Amino acid sequence: MTATIEPEVGKSRRRKEDERLITGRTRWTDNIALPGMLHLAVLRCPLAHAKITSLDTSAAKESPGVIAVYTAADLDPDGSIGMPCAWPVTPDMGAPRRPVLAADRVNFAGEGVAVVVARSAGEAHDALEAIEADYDELPPVLDMEAALAEGAPLVHEELDSNKNALWVFDSAGAGTGGDVEQALSSSEIVLKRRFRQQRLVPAFMEPRACVVDPTGTQVTMWSATQVPHILRVMSAMTLGIPEHKLRVIAPDVGGGFGGKIGVLPEEMMALLVAQKLGKPVKWNESRSETMLAAHHGRDQIQDLTISANADGTLTGLKVELLANLGAYNGLVGPGVPILGAFMFNAIYKIPAYHFACTNVFTTTTLTDAYRGAGRPEATFAIERIMDELADELGMDPLELREKNWIKHEEFPYTTVAGLTYDTGNYEAATEKAKQLFGYDELRREQERRRAANDPVQLGIGISTFTEMCGLAPSRVLGSLDYGAGGWEYASLRMLPTGKVEVTTGASAHGQGHETAWSQIVADQLGVPFEDVEVLHGDTQSSHKGLDTYGSRSLVVGGIAVVKAAEKVIAKAKPIAAHLLECSEDDLEFTGGKFAVKGTDSATTIQDVALAVFAAHNLPDGTEPSLDSDATFDPENFSFPHGTHLCAAEVDTETGRVTLRSYVCVDDVGTVVNPLIVEGQVHGGLAQGIAQALFEEAVHDESGTLTTGTFADYLLPSAADLPSFTTERTETPSTTNPLGAKGVGEAGTIASTPAVVNAVVDAVRHFGVNDIEMPLSPMRVWSAVRHGTVRA
Q: How far is the CB of 707 from ligand MCN (least distance, A)?
A: 21
Query: What's the closest the beta carbon of residue 367 comes to ligand MCN, in angstroms?
Result: 14
Taking CB under 6 A as the rule, does residue 483 contact ligand MCN? no
Query: E-assigned strands of 424-482?
Result: 456-466
- Asked if 8 contacts 522 with a C-beta cutoff of 8 angstroms, the reply is yes
Nearest to 573 by CA among 557, 592, 594, 552: 594
Q: How far is the CB of 469 from ligand MCN (least distance, A)?
A: 7
Our finding on whether 486 is near ligand MCN (CB under 6 A) is no
CB 486 within 8 A of CB 599: no
Quote the least distance from Cβ 73 to ligand MCN, whole Å. 37
Cβ count near 619 (within 10 Å):
10
521-538 in b/e form (b: 16+ CB < 10 A) is bbbbbbbbbebbbbbbbb
Q: Quick one: which of 82, 742, 753, 774 contacts ligand MCN (CB under 6 A)?
A: 742
User: Cα–Cα distance between 301 and 199 in angstroms, integer?
Assistant: 11
Single residue of 298, 371, 536, 728 touching ligand MCN by CB under 6 A: 371
Cβ proximity to ligand MCN, 509 vs 644, nearer residue: 509
- Among 87, 421, 482, 549, interactor with ligand MCN by CB under 6 A: 549
Nearer Cβ to ligand MCN (214/550): 550
The residue (of 13 and 354) whose beta carbon lies closer to ligand MCN is 13
- Beta pairing partners, 114: 43, 71
Among 281, 587, 609, 676, binds ligand MCN (CB under 6 A): 676
Residues contacting 39, CB < 8 A, separation 6+: 117, 118, 119, 120, 121, 123, 124, 281, 282, 283
Q: Note whether 741 binds ligand MCN by CB under 6 A.
A: yes
553 touching ligand MCN, by CB under 6 A: yes
Closest by CA to 269, choosing from 238, 248, 244, is: 238
Q: Which DSSP symbol is given to 92?
A: T
Contact between residue 213 and residue 270 where contact means Cβ atoms under 8 Å apart: no
502 part of the interface to ligand MCN, by CB under 6 A: no
Quick one: which of 81, 659, 668, 692 contacts ligand MCN (CB under 6 A)? 668
Instruction: Provide, rounded to whole angstroms, the least separation between the CB of residue 741 and ligand MCN.
Output: 6
Q: How far apart are CA 83 and CA 293, in angstroms?
A: 14
> Pick from 359, 430, 628, 680: which binds ligand MCN (CB under 6 A)?
680
Residue closer to ligand MCN, measured from CB, 341 or 554: 554
For residue 552, state whether it binds ligand MCN (rule: CB under 6 A): yes
Query: b/e per residue, 469-496, with b = 16+ CB within 10 A?
Result: bbbbbeebbeeebbbbebbbbbbbbbee
Residue spans of beta strands (DSSP E) within 187-296: 189-200, 209-213, 219-223, 246-249, 281-284
Q: Can residue 672 be called a binding residue for ligand MCN (CB under 6 A)?
A: yes
Among 135, 167, 257, 421, binds ligand MCN (CB under 6 A): 257
Q: Is the peptide bond before 774 cis (omega within 30 degrees of 0)?
A: yes
Q: Residue 510 CB, nearest distance to ligand MCN (Å)?
A: 2
Helix-helix angle 559-580:605-614, to 10 degrees:
70
Contact 345, 416 (CB under 8 A): yes
- The total number of residues shown for the chain amounts to 791
To ligand MCN, the closest distance from the beta carbon of 187 in angstroms equals: 37
Q: Is the dihedral of CA 546, 549, 552, 558 positive or negative?
A: positive
Minimum separation from the CB atom of position 744 to ligand MCN (A): 2
Distance CA 599, CA 543 (A): 42
User: Segment contacting ligand MCN (CB under 6 A): 187-195, 305-313, 580-588, 671-679?
Assistant: 671-679
Single residue of 509, 536, 563, 571 touching ligand MCN by CB under 6 A: 509
Q: Please choose, out of 159-167, 360-368, 549-557, 625-633, the segment that lies near ligand MCN by the rule CB under 6 A.
A: 549-557
Q: How many residues sit in the footprint of ligand MCN (CB under 6 A)?
A: 37
Contact string 683-722 vs ligand MCN (x = CB under 6 A): x---------------------------------------
Site for ligand MCN in 85-114 (CB under 6 A): none
* Nearer Cβ to ligand MCN (76/678): 678
Q: How far apart are CA 364 and CA 335, in angstroms?
A: 18
The reply to whether 551 sits near ligand MCN by the rule CB under 6 A is yes
Contact footprint for ligand MCN (CB under 6 A): 204, 255-258, 371, 509-513, 516, 548-555, 558, 668-673, 676-677, 680, 683, 740-745
